[in-house]
Chain A
Amino acid sequence: MTPISETDQALAAAFVDGDLAEPERTVFELRLAAEPELAAHVEGLFATDELVRRHARRTGAALPRGARLRPFVLVLAAAAVVVAVLAIASLLDDAPARASVQVALRPSGESAAEWIALEPALGGLRPPGLDELRGPGESADADPRAFVDAARRLELRALDRPAAAETTAAFYSIALRLEAPCDVVIAAFPERGPPQLVWPAAGASARLEAGEHVLPSPSFHYVDDGRGPRVEYQRGFLVPLGSGRVVVLVGTRAARAEGLHASQRVALESPSAQASLLAAAGFETRQYVLREP
């Protein structure tokens, strides 16, 4: 098939998308009727577009109503993009953003006891609040604040270890060490079951400040609300039952003023499609593999 000009390529795609306005549209239709080579290209485009649409798992439809950008928002967003691009350009090749991010996946547990079983250093400690750790008649014997600090140090130690090829866990956390504020996106792709965007939560910000973080939250919290100081446990992200193998994709980029676009708040059909979408938006991505116990 003879190649067609760039202008005709754009016209062909615009025609298939329903984006051609009059009088260009009628002129193009007349040309298609008279130029078999051009018509063959557009026929092929039509057929391939239809085929991909039939097989695509469209996730954009799951956006909340009204999440699509209205024209005035588009203008504001365009301005924000320009500002962000200029800001990023001023950072030259934005080397700090790439060099300053460390990420690790860590198994979590359904209960504090399961979590502590993974960290022998905490074994035998019984802080107030974690009653499941105490036998009948046993009293709390660990300072809650010291326990939370120790657990947090252990949780972040995953950042200094080499990543495992595959981790078996029913729950998991993501630890991050950021030298600068970042936008963070986490998506999970089960072998069986729908993909999920697990971070950020719907309507929440993807931005994390510089520092060390554990998502969805640190596993242990110090609480002192009048009922006495104690420790509370927060489990990690759930590996859905029956999902088998799960690929977890973590995307990070230097924080941008405009935050996440609606299209970045959906989970796509595959890790590679998601990685492509995120890469186009300036994210660096890392993949981890989980195995359901």
Chain B
Amino acid sequence: MESLRSSAEEWRAARGGDAEARGRLARLALDTARRELARRRVAASDLEDLAQEAVMAFLAFLDERAEAPREIGGFVKWRALGVLSDQRKRLRVRSMEHSTEAPAELASGAAGPGASARAAEVRAALEACRERLRPESRAVLALRYEGGLEAEEIALRLGVTRNAIHVRTFRALAALRACLERRGIDPEDAP
């Protein structure tokens, strides 16, 4: 019977040169990354590449660090989301420089009349909630989403630091989320 080892023990074994332990951790990372990226609605055509990239980043971290993260699964999840953030930024920048179309992964993907009606409901709620935000929050969101600008460009435009734009973005989106939730819309599963 195969002995059950904790992820931390697998980590130590892999660090000690156990190739099988390293392989098991890689599979764990791959499954976690695939699951998390699918939950984030990543297009099927991109999902495997991003998951592999997340696993490589995870294994690079394994090679560098003797001590296992407290939650290996949780760490892999966030590593995958970090990889996804990078990819989306690359797409945004490429889209602004070389194309007149929005990145495909950012396009609305609602299908069928029921989905369209729900999407229209969400869109209306979003507009109403954005109207209720403070003017400076609305301005940051308009520059970010409709203007297609990155935080650094918004900061330059408004004459503040990039850090300040990140704080304003966080607060604006947190307020928006709270408003949507009061209207019965959970951003996690809204179309």
CB neighbors of B among A14-62 (8 A): 14-20, 25-26, 29-30, 32-34, 39, 41, 43-62
| CB-based contact A18/B85 at 8 Å | yes
Per the bound structure, the CA–CA distance linking A279 and B157 in Å amounts to 12
How far, in angstroms, from A266 to B148 measured CA to CA in the complex? 10
Give Cα distance in the complex from A56 to B100, angstroms.
15
CA distance A169 to B142 in the complex (A): 30
Is A74 a contact of B100 with CB atoms below 8 Å?
no
- Any chain A CB within 8 A of the CB of B174? yes
Binds B, one of A102-110, A206-214, A267-275: A267-275
Give a binary string over B87-98; 1 marks a CB under 8 Å from any A CB, 0 the rest.
111100001111
- CB contacts under 8 Å to A, within B148-191, are 148-153, 156-159, 162-163, 165-167, 169-171, 173-174, 176-177, 180, 186-188, 190-191
- In the assembled complex, how far is the CB of residue A159 from the closest CB belonging to chain B, in whole angstroms? 28
Is B147 touching A45 in the complex (CB atoms < 8 A)? Answer: no
B25 CB to nearest A CB, Å: 15
Confirm or deny: A247 has a beta carbon within 8 angstroms of a beta carbon on chain B. Answer: no
Q: A69-B153, A81-B159 are in contact. Are A48 and B142 (CB under 8 A)?
A: no
- Name the contact of B102 in the complex, choosing from A47, A50, A51, A61 (C-beta under 8 A): A61
Choose one: B74, B100, B173; the contact of A39 (CB below 8 Å): B74
| Of B72, B98, B101, B159, the contact of A85 (CB 8 Å cutoff) | B159
Q: Which residues of A contact B106 (CB under 8 A)?
A: 53-54, 58
On chain B, the number of residues with a Cβ less than 8 Å from chain A's Cβ atoms is: 78
Would A277 and B126 be within 8 Å (CB), given that A26-B61, A33-B69, A51-B187 are in contact?
A: no
Contact A268:B173 (CB < 8 A) given known A10-B167, A15-B82, A279-B135: no
Tell me whether B170 and A9 are in contact (CB under 8 A): yes
**Interface magnitude class on chain A:** 35 or more
**Distance between Cα atoms of A266 and B150 in the complex (Å):** 16
Q: Is the CB of A277 within 8 A of B147?
A: yes
Q: Does A289 contact B (CB under 8 A)?
A: no
Taking a contact as CB atoms under 8 Å apart, the answer to whether B136 and A59 are in contact is: no
Is there an interface contact between B148 and A33, defined as CB atoms closer than 8 Å?
no
Report whether A16 and B127 are in contact in the complex, using a CB–CB cutoff of 8 Å.
no
Judge if B131 is at the interface, Cβ distance under 8 Å.
yes
Which of B69, B127, B141, B156 is close to A78, meaning CB atoms less than 8 Å apart? B156
Q: Is the CB of A263 within 8 A of B147?
A: yes
Interchain CB contact (< 8 A) of B127 among A49, A266, A270:
A270
* Candidates A15, A50, A56; contact of B41 at CB < 8 Å: A50
CB distance B69 to A34 under 8 Å?
Answer: yes
Question: B151 contacts A13, CB within 8 Å?
Answer: yes
Given the complex of chains A and B, what is the CA–CA distance between A265 and B148 in angstroms? 12
Residues on A with C-beta less than 8 A from B40 are: 46, 50
Given known A6-B167, A33-B77, A280-B157, contact A17–B85 (CB-CB < 8 A): yes
In the complex the two chains form, is A60's CB within 8 Å of B146's CB? yes
Contact at B85–A55, with CB atoms within 8 Å?
no
A13-B166, A270-B127, A272-B131 known; A57+B148 contact, CB < 8 A: no
Which B residues from 120 to 155 make CB contacts under 8 A with A?
A: 122-123, 126-127, 130-131, 135-136, 138-143, 145-153
Given the known interface contacts A48-B177, A52-B145, A60-B96, the answer about A14 and B166 at a Cβ–Cβ threshold of 8 Å is: yes
How far does the Cβ of B97 sit from chain A's closest Cβ, in whole Å? Answer: 6
Could you show 15 A-B contacts with beta carbons less than 8 Å apart?
A: A6-B167, A17-B151, A17-B166, A34-B71, A45-B174, A47-B186, A48-B187, A51-B187, A52-B176, A54-B109, A55-B123, A56-B145, A57-B146, A280-B143, A280-B157
Chain B interface residues (CB < 8 Å from chain A)? 40-41, 61, 69-72, 74-75, 77-79, 81-82, 85-90, 95-102, 106-109, 119, 122-123, 126-127, 130-131, 135-136, 138-143, 145-153, 156-159, 162-163, 165-167, 169-171, 173-174, 176-177, 180, 186-188, 190-191
